[in-house]
Amino acid sequence: MTENIKVKWYKTPLSKEDLKLVSKRSNWKGLVQTLGHLLFLMLFAVLAYWSTLNLKLFYNIIFFLIYGIFYSFILNGFHEMSHNTVFQSKGLSRFFYRLFGFLSWNNHVFFSESHRVHHHYTLQRSYDMEVILPVMVTAKEFFLRGFINPIGFVETVYGTILLSLGIVKGKMYTGLGFASAEWKELLFPKENMVVRKQLINWARFTLIGHIFIICLSLAFGLWQIPLLITLAPFYGSGFLYLLNPTQHIGKKDNVDDYRLNSRTILLNPFLRFLYWNMNYHIEHHMYAAVPFYNLGKLHRLIEHDLPESPKGLIRTWIQIKDMDK
């Protein structure tokens, strides 16, 4: 992608000592969050599996929807891994980035480039097409994502098959939704065949991997396993749909101040755990090299220079609706 402009972003000043402190990476802290999230998912996966053996269909659906709610937040872990700040070890970063990408049907090759540009040109029109204002949140999309999202599944599988066949044209369908064909062409021009090959190879790995899971599971009579892995990104993600858009919805584009184009909200410890601290979104954009587990410290250091942060998701959406009036 041709990068023709340089945005002089405003950043709240930090002393060298404070910046060094909050930028410190830790394998231990990264593993606590990453393995903690995966173990949490395993617990609810076991409960969902148990329900299919012992309870009626209605309760099966409830258990699987609860599991889907928690599973959807793998997307936030995937996002954090893209910054290479979760671990001090590059090997751990590469492994879990790809694992979370596979589990969420996301192509890490595409997202790495897309998200790099998003941070470089946050909400600059014609340069950042990862997030385009106005961000639309609809009841239809909420209920679709919140319960069962067959359209998202079909589009994602279709897009993955096309990429697997080496067809890069058209929209980019992933577990995060879709990106425009124009955006994909800008990020991966025809001239850059090396990176395009990486994009295609990961699509093939994802497709073959999920086909293998389905075939092996069905061969052993474990039909629940594909529901818990392959299909999991496509049900129960309504709560995530209420959280992720708060990052930029209702804010301004074409500005050089993250305090104007991003939003920080205050959440309870459990939601911060699920959300990988992405509620501190101004801080994340202002100092993208700071690991997610240090964003709380960063918030306390610079909150005097930030807009007032709404407390809780309900107050956040009230604030967003008030902005529309």
pLDDT in tens, 42-75: 999 999 999 999 999 999 999 999 999 999 999 9
Handedness of CA 316, 150, 113, 276 (dihedral sign): positive
What was the pLDDT predicted at 325? 62
Q: Where are the alpha helices (DSSP H) in 26-89?
A: 27-54, 57-71, 74-81
**Residue ranges covered by each domain of the chain:** 26-323
pLDDT tens, position by position, 235-274: 999 899 999 999 999 999 999 999 999 999 999 999 999 9
Could you give the CA distance from residue 243 to residue 230 in angstroms, rounded to a whole number?
23
Q: Is-contact 133 253, C-beta < 8 A?
A: yes
Query: Sign of the C-alpha dihedral, residues 262, 264, 269, 270?
Result: negative
**Which residues have C-beta within 8 Å of that of residue 160, sequence separation ≥ 6?**
105, 173, 203, 206, 207
Residue type, 295: L
Question: Can you tell me the distance from the alpha carbon of 173 to that of 182, in angstroms, rounded to the nearest whole number?
Answer: 13
Average pLDDT for 268-283: 97
